Amino acid sequence: MKSLQKSTRGLLLYILGLLIMAYLAIGSVWADLEAIQFDAAIIPKATFDGLRCPILLTKAADDVFAVYLENGKDTVDDRPIRVTYTEGSVIFIHEHTERIPVEVGETKRVEYPITWLDAAWGRFILVKVYIFADYPFPASYTNCGIWMIPISFLNGYQLLVTLLASSAALLLGGGYTWVRAKQPLNHEDTQFSRAMLAQLFMLGVSLAFALLGNWLVGGLSLLVSLLLSLTILNRFWR
């Protein structure tokens, strides 16, 4: 009986760790999906990888997102750039159109301040950057979504680290407790542990790509994780 209680407690802790990972992955993917639809009147074919956004923002502290402009020309590059981001909604927006001279071989960082009040629907700050064409370089764009969580005791970075650390601690502690309580593992327990490790792997892939801004791989991995969850429930809790 005591062994059963320990294994149940360990499994619940492990599942809670997985749920925290899923929570972060879903929120990050959702934010980037919303950003794709933001200010979508003009979408050039080319993209550029020069936008850096925080993952999370809270009420505790303001933050910035940054645009990195790199000059690949033989002369000064001062192409106009247009930066738009939400101002509490997708209707009222911040808009900056400016020329920022970048010397040959130089990379320039331009920062834009954001606060929790900029979040549309009280949830996401959506950002789009458009760089105008200048032969031989075509027009290009990029976007990102910043997830706003309405708490006041941690800033975005602190909250992200806390959630990741909590998830890791729950997974390690829960997994260790479950394995110790189940010793020696029978065939059914071994199969179940492998399935839960596969679930951890898929959520880890989803979270990693979501935090890197790759919503497509992150979203597909989340879908695989959901299907795997249904398979585990059908296989082991019938």
Q: Summarize pLDDT for 85-131 with one digit per residue, the tens.
A: 999 988 889 999 999 888 888 889 999 999 999 999 999 999 999 99
Beta strand pairing call for 140-149 and 56-58: parallel
126 - beta bridge partners?
A: 145
CA atoms of 204 and 191, how far apart (whole Å):
20
Percent of the chain's residues with pLDDT above 90: 55
Return the closest-CA partner of residue 64 out of 141, 131, 22, 127: 127
CB of 182 within 8 A of CB of 189? yes
Half-sphere exposure of 25 (CA within 13 A, CB side): 27
Query: Is residue 127 within 8 Å of 85, Cβ to Cβ?
Result: yes
With a CB cutoff of 8 Å and minimum separation 6, the contacts of 150 are: 58, 59, 116, 122
Q: Which of 5-14, 32-41, 160-169 reaches the highest mean pLDDT?
A: 160-169
For the chain, the average pLDDT equals 89
pLDDT score recorded for residue 162: 96
Determine the Cα–Cα distance for residues 56 and 71; give it in Å rounded to an integer.
30
Q: With bands split at pLDDT 50, 70 and 90, how would you rate the model's confidence at 1?
A: low
pLDDT score, position 24: 95
